[in-house]
Amino acid sequence: MYKISEFAKLTGLSKETLRYYAEVKLLEPAYIDPKNNYRYYDDGSYFLAVLLVKLRSLGFTIQEMISVMEDESFQNLDSLLHQKRNKVMLEIEELQLQMKAIDEFLLSGEEESK
| Domain parsing of the chain, residue ranges | 1-70, 73-114
Give pLDDT tens digits for 48-106: 999 999 999 998 999 989 988 888 777 788 888 999 999 999 999 999 999 999 999 99
**Which DSSP string do the residues of 13-46 spell out, in sequence order?**
--HHHHHHHHHTTSS--SEE-TTT--EEE-HHHH
CATH of 1-70, one of 1.10.357.10, 1.10.1660.10, 3.40.50.300, 3.10.20.30: 1.10.1660.10
Regarding pTM above 0.85, the answer is: no
Closest CA to 68 of 57, 81, 85, 82: 81
